[in-house]
Amino acid sequence: MSGAATAGRALAPDTLAGHARLVRLLSADVCRKLEEKNREKPLEKLDAEASKQLLLTTLLASVGQHAAQFGPMIEQAKATGRSPEETGRLVGQEVVLNLARTCPVSSGLIARMGMAEVKAKKEINVSDREKPTLTLVAKDICLGLEQRNQAQPFAKLGKDQRMQMLQEVMQQAFLKNADAMTKLYGSGVFLDAANMKPIGERVGLLMADTCPSYLMQLGLDHIDTQKNP
């Protein structure tokens, strides 16, 4: 069979290439649906739970529309002892990761959903007393990242460079709000790394509402580091 004929055939979803193609197909379909929803009502106004529900229902709708392609993958998974539910969950995770990389309108949804999960696991809470100050810090970090992004696109940097940029911008934002931070946490706040870590996590939680795309990129960097240490 000629190469042209082979290239023209639809790839079976139970092959590696077919699996990747199905993930891309589902991602593109979900992204189109989210863009339509965003035109009706800005998705940035959704909270974490609403973001999760919208992403889930949209993904399920896309899977339903591509059931014929999904079936062979389910059957192959059964042969290896994996349940259809587990297969669906794994494909869903891959689609979400692909959306994070390729679908800008999804970044806020995924970031809010992800930060809500982190908050639940680590029991991160921003108290009413902290919120005004930490919100200012979060907004200053987002503004700093956006300004840096104009000169040096964040997405085009290496992951180590992105982390360095974040650390520099965070340091500037904390120093800008040093008086408020000192009043809130005491004069030694910047000298105690153990205390600064949870404060940074709370700021990250607030950043999800202001500049989710940067958090999403950093999250993808973290996943990549775990896969390729």
Interval 70-112: pLDDT, tens = 777 777 777 777 787 887 888 888 898 889 888 989 988 888 8
- The answer to the question of residue 4 being in a domain is no
**One domain for residues 85 and 38:** yes
Of the candidates 84, 72, 56, 75, the residue with the CA atom closest to the CA atom of residue 22? 72
Q: Considering the entire predicted model, what is its pTM?
A: 0.67
User: Average pLDDT of 26-45?
Assistant: 93
6, pLDDT greater than 60: no
94 and 135 share one domain: no
Select from 45, 70, 105 the last residue of a domain: 105
- Same domain for 135 and 173, yes or no, is yes
State yes or no: pLDDT of 24 exceeds 70. Answer: yes
Residue 217 tokens read as 């990129």
pLDDT at position 44 over 90: no
CB burial string 39-69: b at 16+ within 10 A, e below: eeeebeebebeebbebbeebbeebbeeeeeb
Indicate the average pLDDT of the chain: 84
Half-sphere CA count of 150, side-chain side, radius 13 A: 5
- Give the pLDDT of residue 224: 75
- The CA-CA-CA angle for residues 95, 100, 103, to 5°, reads 95
Give yes or no for a contact between 26 and 59, defined as CB atoms under 8 angstroms apart.
Answer: yes
The residue segments making up the domain with residue 56 are 13-105
Number of folded domains that form the chain: 2
Domain-embedded: residue 117:
no
pLDDT in tens, 142-200: 999 999 999 999 988 998 999 999 999 999 999 999 999 999 999 888 888 888 989 99
- H helices of the chain, in order, are 3-8, 16-40, 48-65, 67-79, 84-102, 107-122, 131-151, 159-176, 178-185, 193-210, 212-227
Q: Which pLDDT band, with edges at 50, 70 and 90, does 10 fall under?
A: very low
Average pLDDT over residues 109-128: 79
Higher pLDDT among residues 223 and 218, named by residue: 218
